[in-house]
């Protein structure tokens, strides 16, 4: 049997990474209202890996992009040593009109590991994008 590789995993393996800036769930709780900025070159992508040491928290995000839209995905790996082939796609790569509206989402941390937010601009051959994003964490689900 041949294996079909998810587009998200293919991107992580062979796409051109502009920037990866990682955080732990504890770091996110200290963000407050501050947004962070990513500059993503044309034909490239950037990642925001989030390390979660325990289940129960809910991580939420909002983002906008300029001057055009961006694609977004979330992938889970049990650890940084987990191969990309073993990673699980939680949110498939989706083209977002983030230049026209604020994109919002959230995920429940069900297992300890690394949750990778992917901002993909690989479809744009000439236009670089600026992404303004904000992360928040709700730890009330922790027991």
* Residue pLDDT, tens place only, 94-131: 999 999 999 999 999 999 999 999 999 999 999 999 99
Residue where the block lists tokens 């991580």: 59
Instruction: Please tell me the distance from the alpha carbon of residue 26 to that of residue 10, in angstroms, as a whole number.
Output: 30
Two tokens, residue 106: 């959230």
Find, among 133, 129, 135, 134, the residue nearest to 39 by Cα.
129
Task: Give the chain's length.
Answer: 143
Are 49 and 116 in contact by the 8 Å Cβ rule? The answer is yes
CATH superfamily, domain 4-137, is GOLD domain (2.60.120.680)
22-66, pLDDT tens digit by residue?
A: 888 888 877 778 899 999 999 999 999 999 988 999 999 999 999
- pTM for the model stands at 0.87
């Amino acid at each position: 049997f041949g294996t079909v590789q998810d587009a998200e995993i293919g991107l992580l393996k062979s796409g051109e990474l502009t920037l990866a800036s990682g955080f732990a769930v504890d770091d996110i709780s200290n963000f407050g209202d501050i947004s962070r900025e990513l500059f993503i070159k044309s034909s490239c992508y950037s990642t925001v890996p989030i390390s979660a040491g325990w289940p129960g928290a809910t991580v939420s995000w909002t983002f906008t992009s300029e001057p055009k839209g961006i694609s977004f995905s979330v992938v889970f790996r049990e650890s940084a040593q987990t191969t990309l082939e073993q990673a699980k796609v939680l949110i498939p790569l989706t083209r977002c009109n983030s230049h026209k509206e604020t994109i919002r989402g959230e995920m429940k941390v069900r297992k300890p590991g690394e949750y990778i937010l992917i901002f993909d601009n690989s479809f744009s051959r000439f236009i670089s994008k600026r992404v303004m994003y904000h992360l928040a964490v709700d730890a009330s689900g922790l027991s």
